[in-house]
Amino acid sequence: MPDNSVTESDDASHKPIRPWSSFFYADFTFLWLSGITMMIAMRLRMITSGQWIFDNASSDAAAAALLGALGAVQLIQMPAVIYGGALADVFNRKRLMAMTQAASFVALLVLTVLSFTEALAIWHIFVVTAVVGIFNMLGNSARPAMLPRVLPRRYLTNGVTVQTASFQVASIGAPLAWGMLYTGPGASTTFMVAAVIASLSFITPLFIRASGQPDGGSRKVTLASLKEGFLFVRSHRILPGLYLLDIGVTVVSFYRELFPVFSEGLYGKGPEGTAALNSANALGGAAGSFVVFFTGRWKYKGRIVLVSTLAYAILLLAFGINEIFWLGLLIIGSLGLVDAIGMTMRQAVVQLTTPDHLLGRASSAHSFAAMGANNVGQLEVGLVAGLIGAGPTMIFGGAVSVVVVGLIWWLVPGVRKYRYEDIPDDTELRDRAPP
C-alpha cells in the first residue's frame, strides 16, 4: 500500500509549530484556498437566501416557519453525506472537490440570473438549497481526508486549527460585506459576487500536487465499504460520544440561520441586526480558533470538547434571557468562541484517530452528525421560535444542552479520558484512549 502522506526532515520535526507553520506547505495553501472561497460563497448565499425569504414572507411568524422549513429541506442531503464519505475513500479526492464545487457555482449563477430578472421565488431558493446541499455533502468528506496528504501528522491539529480560524475570520467579513451589498445594490448583486467567489473554490484543488487517490481505492462504493465505515465508527471508543454530543446540543440550539428572526424578535432590528449578529458570532469563532493554538500541550482533548460545550449551553441561557442588543452581540460572540473550540477539537480527534483508508467515511460520519443536527435544529428552533418566541427557545435549548453534556460525561467515559500523545510514527496506533 503506498504511503501518500507528507513527510518532514529530522530537522523540521524538532522545530516549534507556529500558527502559520502549515502555510509553508504549498499543497495545504491550495486546499485552504479552496475551502475558504467555498465557505465565503456559501455564507453569502445562505444569509442572502434567509434574509430574502424573511423580507418576502407574509408575516414574521410565516418567515420563522419558512426559515425552519429551509433546514428541513436540507435533510434530503443526509444520504449523500454517507455516500460522499465512502466516495472519498475510493475516488480521487481532488477531482471530487472540484466537481462538487463546480455544481455549487452553477447553482449560484442560476440564483443570480433569476434575481436580476425579478423572477426569483421562494421555491427557487428551496430547490437550490436542496441541490447545492446534496453536492456539497458528496464532496464534503474529501477535504478533511486530503489534509494528511498535504501536512505531516504532527501538523494536523495546527492545520485543522488554521482552517477553522481563517474560516471564522472570513465569516466576520462575509456578513459585513453582505450587509453593504444587500442593503445597497441588493440581492442580485450579492448572489453574483458569491458566484464569482465560488468559481475559485473548484479551480484551486486542481493545483494540489499530492495524490488525491485514496489508499487501496476500489474505484466504486459498495455496501461492504459502507458497512466497514459504520462498524469502525460504532466500535470507536471516542467518536460516537463526540457525535452524540454534537447532535444532542445542536438539535435544540441551532441559531445561525435564524439570525433574521432573533434580530427582529429579540432586538427589533432589521438586516443591519442580522449582519451584526453574524459578524459577532464569526468574530467569536475566530477568537476561539485562535485559542486552540495554545492548547497543543493539553493532552486531554476530549475534556476540552466537554467543557467548551458546557460553556456553550450556559451562554444559550444568557442569550435567551437578554434583551439588550450590545450585550446580545457579546453573548453571541462568546457562543461562537466556545463553539469553535469544541468543533476544532472534534475535527482534530477524527483526524488523529482514523487511518487514511477510513478517513473519508469517518469524516462523513462527523458531517452526518453535524449537518443532520444543524438541519433538524434549524427546523426545531424555527418552529419553536414561531410558537413561543425567540428568547424562550434559546432558554429551552440551553437547559437541554446542559443535560446532554452531563450524560456524555457520565455515560461515555472514553471522551473525557481521551489523551493525545504526539507520536511521530504514523504507523503506530492513533487512538490513545484508555480501555
What is d(CA 295, CA 338) in angstroms, rounded to the nearest whole number? 13
DSSP state of 344: H
What domains can be seen in the chain, in order of their start residue?
Answer: 23-417 (1.20.1250.20)
Residue 220: its pLDDT value, please?
A: 60
Do 154 and 13 contact (CB within 8 A), yes or no?
yes
Q: What is the pLDDT of residue 8?
A: 55
d(CA 301, CA 136): 28
Distance (Å, whole) CA 210 – CA 316: 42
Question: In the prediction, which pLDDT does 433 show?
Answer: 35
Provide the pLDDT for residue 71: 66
Query: Average of pLDDT values for 360-386?
Result: 73
pTM beyond 0.75: the answer is no
Instruction: For residue 259, give the nearest of 167, 179, 370, 193 by alpha carbon.
Output: 179
Cell numbers 459498495 correspond to what residue? 222
Q: Considering the chain, what is the average pLDDT of its residues?
A: 79
pLDDT at 386: 76
Weakest mean pLDDT among 69-83, 249-263, 310-324, 384-398: 69-83
Residue 145 has pLDDT above 60, yes or no: yes
Q: pLDDT tens digit string along 339-370?
A: 888 888 887 777 777 776 676 677 667 667 77
Please give the C-alpha separations between residue 37 and each of 159, 202, 219, 358, 422, in angstroms, as whole numbers.
Answer: 17, 9, 29, 27, 31
Single-letter amino acid, residue 374: N
* Residues in CB range of 376: below 8 A, 6 or more apart: 71, 72, 75, 251, 254
pLDDT per residue as tens digits for the range 199-244? 998 888 889 888 877 765 545 666 676 677 777 877 787 888 888 8
The pLDDT assigned to 74 comes to 65
pLDDT over 80 at 426, yes or no: no
What pLDDT is stored for residue 427 in this prediction?
Answer: 37
Q: Are 20 and 164 in contact (CB under 8 A)?
A: no
